[in-house]
């Protein structure tokens, strides 16, 4: 965890009543004090109730662990440990299903909407077709005229 989280936890432990604080092991409190950041200024306000403050997710997790291990009674601790075990089992099962070595190389079959494209015969517009034919006629006429002129030039007697 980041040192800032330990700093926030240290501030919260100092906010606790002495009776509650005495239930947390001295070694754990020393561990928190050793790990906390000396440069970070905590946003935890001791004058505002903890429930009304915005806490980082990691701070909430560590507070939950402190509550489970040091502050709650034995019946509550067993219930919380069982709940934690169920959550870990659920996460492990999800991980096994997601990364199952048997299914790792199988291709997923996905149904995709495939649109068929039909080949359509391209039809020229009437005008384009007309101009092509007209152009062809002129080209033929000019070729005939050229050949006639060429033929005449070869066989002319001038």
Got the DSSP string for 39-84? S------TTS-GGGS---HHHHHHHHHHIIIIIS-HHHHHHHHHHH
Q: Is 80 exposed, middle or buried (0-12, 13-18, 19+ CB in 10 A)?
A: middle
Q: Is residue 90 part of a domain?
A: no
d(C-alpha 74, C-alpha 125), whole Å: 89
**Overall domain count for the chain:** 2
Q: What is the pTM of this model?
A: 0.58
Local confidence pLDDT in tens for the 158 residues of the chain: 899 999 999 999 999 999 999 999 999 999 999 999 999 999 999 888 888 999 999 999 999 999 999 999 999 999 999 998 999 999 999 888 888 777 666 665 555 665 666 666 666 676 677 667 766 776 666 665 555 555 555 555 55
Tell me whether residue 84 is in a domain: no
The residue segments making up the domain with residue 138 are 125-158
Does residue 20 lie in a domain region? yes
**Does any domain span residue 15?**
yes
């Amino acid at each position: 965890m980041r040192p800032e989280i330990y700093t926030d936890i240290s501030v919260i432990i100092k906010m606790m009543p002495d009776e509650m604080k005495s239930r947390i092991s001295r070694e754990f409190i020393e561990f928190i004090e050793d790990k906390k950041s000396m440069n970070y200024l905590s946003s935890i306000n001791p004058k505002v109730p903890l429930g009304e403050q915005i806490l980082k997710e990691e701070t909430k997790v560590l507070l939950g662990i402190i509550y489970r291990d040091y502050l709650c009674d034995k019946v509550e601790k067993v219930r919380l440990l069982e709940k934690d075990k169920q959550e870990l089992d659920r996460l492990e099962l999800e991980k096994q299903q997601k990364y199952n070595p048997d299914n790792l190389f199988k291709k997923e079959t996905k149904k995709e909407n495939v649109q068929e494209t039909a080949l359509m015969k391209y039809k020229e517009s009437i005008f384009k077709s007309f101009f092509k034919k007209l152009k062809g006629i002129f080209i033929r006429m000019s070729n005939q005229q050229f050949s006639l002129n060429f033929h005449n030039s070869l066989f002319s007697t001038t």
